[in-house]
Structure 1
Amino acid sequence: MEKLGVSFPTISKFISQMEKSGEIILTGMDESNGGRRAKRYTYNPEYMLGLAILLERKESHYTIFNCKGEILEQGQTSSVLTGELQDLVQQIEHIISRNPKIRSVAIGVPGVVHHGRILYIPDYEQFQNLDIKSYLEERLPVSVVVENDMNAAVLGYQYNRRRQDRPSLIYLYFGQNGPGSGIMINGELVRGSSFFAGEVSFIPLYDHCNFQQALSAEGDQHQPHAQSKRVDAISRLIAAFTAIVNPHTIIFTKDEVNRALLIQIAEQSKTYIPKENLPELTASDWTQDYLVGLQTLGIGIMISESHN
């Protein structure tokens, strides 16, 4: 109390208010040391809940979580990217109506985001240049944070593994909306000066085409020739990332690669860059990493709101 500069009566008042509101729960009494027995409390993780929702072309995925990050509900709903903005509002309203303790909503989008405004999102004109954070906060009783899909995924991957060595990571996804990447250098997310970092589809890997065109120009991806071209394009991108960022690990989504394909990519990458410098290549659950990344952002705004 002396360090905080707060009196005992003031603290008692705050404790009483928090107990009355359900933010803390009485768990028992301390042993007596000759005076009045002290009460013991624990924080109620269900006092505030958060919603994480990722928007994809074909569907939306969501989780409802408590203050400790524990998942209370996980589900899938219809896509809103190709519909009206009001569809997204109604979708969130429906979830909140069943879970009125939701205080924060973290939304992931396949586009470039700056402080809640979507600056670049190809194919979804109604979301282009939309301040989706303000749009939702004006219509819903929650605080909103918005993040690029791949930035959230690399945040979630790192959070799940709790690496303490401040790793440099690249998360690659070819996806429903074209390729993208999340970049983490020395444990810090890299968004770039105009928040465009990670938009790898534009990288001109060949004289005649960029990375996205190289992935999509070969027709049937199951044909041997098309597969070798795809492997070469990915390997060139890995070589570029290795020379510029020199990451510890490059992560693919497990739905897009298998062990044999990772070996092929690693072997082809060695033709472009010395093998001792190549990162570890691995695969992970993109949807879960993405949702966990959004959850960490949602918990962050829950905590900041509770301190205001």
Structure 2
Amino acid sequence: MSLHSFKPADVPPTERARYLANLERATQGSGRLMLMAGDQKVEHLNDDFVGAGVAEEDGTPEHLFRIAAQARIGVFATQLGLISSYGPDFPDIPYLVKLNAKTNLVPTTSADPYSHQWHDVEQVVRLRETSGLNIAGVGYTIYPGSLYEGNMFAEAARIISEAHQHGLLAVIWAYPRGQHVADEYDPHLIAGVAGIVACLGADFVKINAPTGGPTALREAVRAAGRTRVVCAGGGETSAEDFLRRLHAQINEAGVAGSATGRNIHQRPLDEAVRLCNAISAIDFDNASIDDALRIYRGA
């Protein structure tokens, strides 16, 4: 996949080189994104960071940064506040700033979700210019099907346009959710959501893999067009099962990389780094399952 096939017309000529450099960094020249997700401290509060099967070191935010600094990743996505606090100690990490977030305290059965924007692109650009940190892009979550979808679509459209104006990548998290959504894993619905994000003009869309496996996922990849699809990693599973699923998503469905959080950071540092490196080998290098497992096992 040629990086020069990414050529959104809203990236001005003066920012084209920066945009391509950020794309090169995030995909390591492959056109596939390896996104390490670290935005769950708001989305899931502390549920993902303590408990049975979760490494004790995951209780501190610094664990996320240590993994991202030592592993082969594309970008590390988290909130601007954490990047401001920890970024100076981890200046070589390529960052993607998540611009909105909400907790899971209010269930969808009580109120349709609306994830308000916290920061704007100008604040991200100021942080990039004043700190010298490697900020490659921004991210934003939408919930199609929510009564508030129009507000989120408008915010997302503005964020994507402004990000491109400053040479930044734009990644949209897109999950159909609300009291009128009967099945948020329905393949046809998820394909429709991927198509919405294509209309918004994002570079990548992060979706939940639909029921039906890679065959069902192909519809979303086609619907997204030139907006590349990556799938959320989901809850913690065995490393081998996770890598096999990712390999099938890329090679059978045509997704353009991965977006993984809990499956990485809930593990001890050494294991988390090895799993990141195995994921990146599949994403960036077209590694086989056997090769990826050797990397994960440290063989």
The verdict on a shared fold, with TM-score over 0.5 as the criterion, is no
- Which structure has the highest strand share of the two? 1
Q: TM-score if structure 1 supplies the norm length?
A: 0.29
The TM-score normalised by the length of structure 2 is 0.30
